[in-house]
Amino acid sequence: MKNQLWPLALLTCAALQGARAQMAAPVAAPSATAAAAKQNAGNLLKPSLQGTDAEGKAFKLAALRGKVVLVLFWSTDCPVCRDKMPELRENYAGWRNKPFELVTVSVDKRMQDVSDYEKIVSAMVPLKQRFVQLWAGAPGYSDNFDKPSALPHAYLLDKTGQVVEQYNGRIPAAAWDRIADLL
C-alpha cells in the first residue's frame, strides 16, 4: 500500500510547490491585465485555430462556440508552463460538466518532445483531467493568434468565440474567477 501511494505523494508535493511558487511570483493587478486585454482584444475578435490533437482527431476552435475557452500556448522546455499543468488539470476537471474547454498548443520545435510529454500524461493523468493538446508544428495546423513573446501565453474566449482577455506568463487567480463569470 505504501508503494502505491508514492506517485500520488510526488504529484501532491509538486502541486504544492507550484502553488507556493505562484504565491511568491508577482502578478499584474487585474485592472492592468484587463486594460491590456481590452487593448489587444481588438486585434483578435474571432480567432481561428485548427489542427490535429494528440489523439489524432481533427480539431477546429470554431466547433467550441457556445463554450468558454482558454487557449494556452506553451512548451515542454518552459518551467513555468510545466509547473502550471497540475492547476490547469484540476480546474479543467472541476468544470468538466460546464460549458468550458481548455485547449493547449505546444510550440515545441520537435514533435518528439511533445510525444514524450504525452506518453507521461497518458500514463499518469486520469482521463477526466486531460484536455485538448495540439502541436503548432503539425501538418495542417493553423491559427491567427498573435505569436506569443513569452510563454506561457493564454487567450480567454467567451461563448461567442471572441477574445476577452489575454494572460502573459502565469495565469493569475483572477482569470479563473473571470472564467467562472463567463460560464
Tell me the pLDDT band of 13, cut-offs 50, 70 and 90: very low
Domain residue limits, the chain: 2-182
Mean pLDDT of the chain: 78
Angstrom CA distances, 120 to 60, 116, 124, 125, 132, stand at 25, 7, 6, 8, 15
Separation of alpha carbons 167 and 14, rounded Å: 23
pLDDT at 125: 81
Lowest mean pLDDT among 67-71, 90-94, 136-140: 90-94
Mean pLDDT of 154-181: 93
Residue 140 — pLDDT band, cuts 50, 70, 90? very high
The phi and psi torsions of 52 (rounded to 5 degrees) equal -120, 130
Q: What is the pLDDT of residue 45?
A: 66
Q: Within its chain, how far is the Cα of 15 from the centroid?
A: 16
pLDDT in tens, 74-108: 999 999 998 888 888 888 888 889 999 999 999 99
Average pLDDT over residues 157-176: 93
Burial class (CB in 10 A: 0-12, 13-18, 19+), 103: buried
Higher pLDDT, 23 or 167: 167
Residue 7 scores a pLDDT above 70: no
Which of 32-36, 37-41, 141-145, 166-170 is the most confident on average? 141-145
Instruction: For residue 60, report the phi and psi dihedrals to the nearest 5 degrees.
Output: -135, 125
pTM over 0.85: no
For the 2-182 domain, the top CATH level (class) is alpha beta
Q: Average pLDDT for residues 130-151, to the nearest whole number?
A: 91
Q: What is the pLDDT of residues 43-61, one digit of tens each?
A: 456 899 999 988 889 999 9
For residue 26 the three cell numbers come to 508577482
